[in-house]
Amino acid sequence: MSRFNLVLIYVLSIMIAFLLGIYVAPSVETRFNGQTVASNPVIEEIPPSTVDKAAIAAESNTTGSNPIESDPTESSHSPSPEAVVLEDMPSDDDTGPVGDDSEDLPVADTPSGQGIGAPLEFKYSTNSADAVKLTWEADNLTGKRINYYTAHISTFNPVGDPSNDQLNGKSSFSLKYVGPVEPNDTLFIFSDFTYQNTIHTIIIDQLTLQYDDGTIETFDYGYETTDDSGL
């Protein structure tokens, strides 16, 4: 083999080795001080120190930008939440007059149970068809003009159990009357309100009054009668 060929082979070997080195180098890991170092090392972000955070926060306060949240490890106290104002909700115990649409009317300032006097007359009668007619009278002592009033009534048999209407089976009734009834005038009830043949006692449990100023009140009355000598 001639000397020229040897030189040519030597030059080609160097070029091939150089090209192989360029191709293989990115995937080769180097060793430094006995430790393997990746060819593309991951750069870890170093968090700012407490002093740096304070400086950043101070700068943001002076420039009007949003404050930076503090590290939760630096304080054991969380910021207090803002107070939430809850709207008042209507109560299930709100009471309105029976049979009308006046639930939103303001409550009257008349003391409950002190507006209507004791019965001046309170009795009932039963006719041949078992219709029960109630007669009741009492004075308006509220000092106000009453536009409407409703009597809430319960009926009982001679042994004290509820006595029921023969048509609808009810033992509780509401009788509503239209006024006006001026102060110191008399409220009255005089009407057939049930069909029963075992009735013995009638109790006016409550009264609901609606005044001419738009206010209403419902209060316990509690008077009863066993007098069946009515008209």
Match domain 121-225 to its CATH number in 2.60.40, 1.10.287, 2.60.120, 1.10.540: 2.60.40
Helix (H) or strand (E) holding 220: strand 216-225
pLDDT tens digits, 89-141: 333 344 333 334 434 444 444 444 468 999 999 999 999 999 999 999 999 99
pLDDT in tens, 181-197: 999 999 999 999 999 99
Q: If you write DSSP's letter for every residue of 99-125 in order, what string do you get?
A: TSS-TTSPBP-SPTT-SBPPPSEEEEE
pTM, full prediction: 0.52
CB 180, CB 149: distance < 8 Å: no
Q: Do you find a cis peptide bond into 180, omega within 30 degrees of 0?
A: yes
What are the extents of the domains in the chain? Answer: 121-225
Token pair 């100023």 is found at 213
